[in-house]
Amino acid sequence: MSSMLSRIADSLFWIARYMERAEDTARILDVNYHMLLEQSQQTIRLRWEPLVNMTGEQEEFFHLHQVANTQTVFEFLAFDERNANSILQCIFRARENARTIRDRISREMWQDINSLYHSVSHFRAEEELAVGPHRFCDTIRSGCHRFHGVSDDTLPHDEGWQFLQMGRALERTDMTARIVDVEYHNLVERINPGEKPDNHQWMAVLKSVAAYEIYRRQYHSRIEPERVAEMLILHPQHPRSIRFNVQTVQSALRAISGAGVGYYANEAERLTGRLMTSLAYDRIEDIFARGLHPYLTDVQKTSRQVGHQIAKTYFYYATVA
């Protein structure tokens, strides 16, 4: 791959990651904010700190803030320029990557991401807190959906498109692993013996990854934490499950390298294939027997390693997510 093609692939990979990161954070904020409003008259566990943990930004957050509450968490995750992974910063960085390769993406893709950038630039944290974050979060969600739809319809499905798919899927893998890990610890492992899981909060978990309806259709039962974990880790067809997204990364890597099934052309493919084998053959009982937290920690570690190896193999330098 030439230096110029590497630069284009790098930008497409990171456009997809930043757009997905922005959308995931918007989903988490919107769903959990409204869940808290519905439970405002009840005694509920602290729900804001886990949201920061899901994004992996707890160290930076508590460096800047003493307490996690509605205002500090919303401003930090949505608007704060000091948080490199705030929603606004992700959209800005996605747009900057798109700007550098404007001649290599479709006109519609550029118009879409540029329009989203200008739309979100006009939002103000205090105004969105006053009316509730749904308007802002829905703008992000809709903009990200539109961008990926436009990309699929207007970008040739060549190597560049594969890097776009790969970046999006790798970001989803990491985020879903963090969501399940944080929420299972908070909502199952920390409850008192004999206390029933909070179905309302598990509903929020499913809604935050667009999985509530499919859960109801598949299990026909009340929400059970083990089944939620099973769906979000092992479901072969849900577009936000870990298995589905690792499969997407693997397929994109093979499409680029030409490696056949059962073979690997580079370290990113080897790591992805090893994780995919576990996801394809393990049952949720096997994962719980080994420990859910260690398993999901390993998924996140492998995801980071795959990202590093993709950069090393195709972009000529290591990039930290």
pTM: 0.92
**Cβ contacts of 133 within 8 Å, gap of 6 or more:** 29, 30, 33, 74, 78
129: left (phi over 0), alpha (psi -120 to 50) or beta: alpha
Q: Is the pLDDT of residue 233 over 90?
A: yes
Burial level of 291, CB count in 10 A (0-12/13-18/19+)? exposed
pLDDT tens digits, residue range 24-79? 999 999 988 877 766 544 434 457 888 999 998 999 999 999 999 889 999 999 99
Return the percentage of the chain with pLDDT > 90, whole number: 74
Query: pLDDT confidence of 189, banded at 50, 70, 90?
Result: low
What is the pLDDT at residue 195?
64
Higher pLDDT, 199 or 108: 108
106 or 3, higher pLDDT: 106
Alpha-carbon 182 to chain mean position: 14
Which residues, 6 or more positions from 228, have their beta carbon under 8 angstroms from its beta carbon? 180, 202, 205, 206, 215
What pLDDT was estimated at residue 261? 86
Amino acid at 22: A
CA–CA dist 230, 282 (Å, integer): 10
| pLDDT over 50 at 319, yes or no | no
Q: At what angle do helices 134-154 and 159-184 cross, to 10 degrees?
A: 150
pLDDT surpasses 60 at 107: yes
pLDDT over 70 for what percent of the chain?
91
Look at residue 42 in the predicted model and tell me its pLDDT: 44
pLDDT in tens, 249-276: 999 999 999 998 889 999 999 999 999 9
Mean pLDDT throughout 236-246? Answer: 97
| pLDDT tens-digit map of 133-155 | 999 999 999 999 999 999 999 99
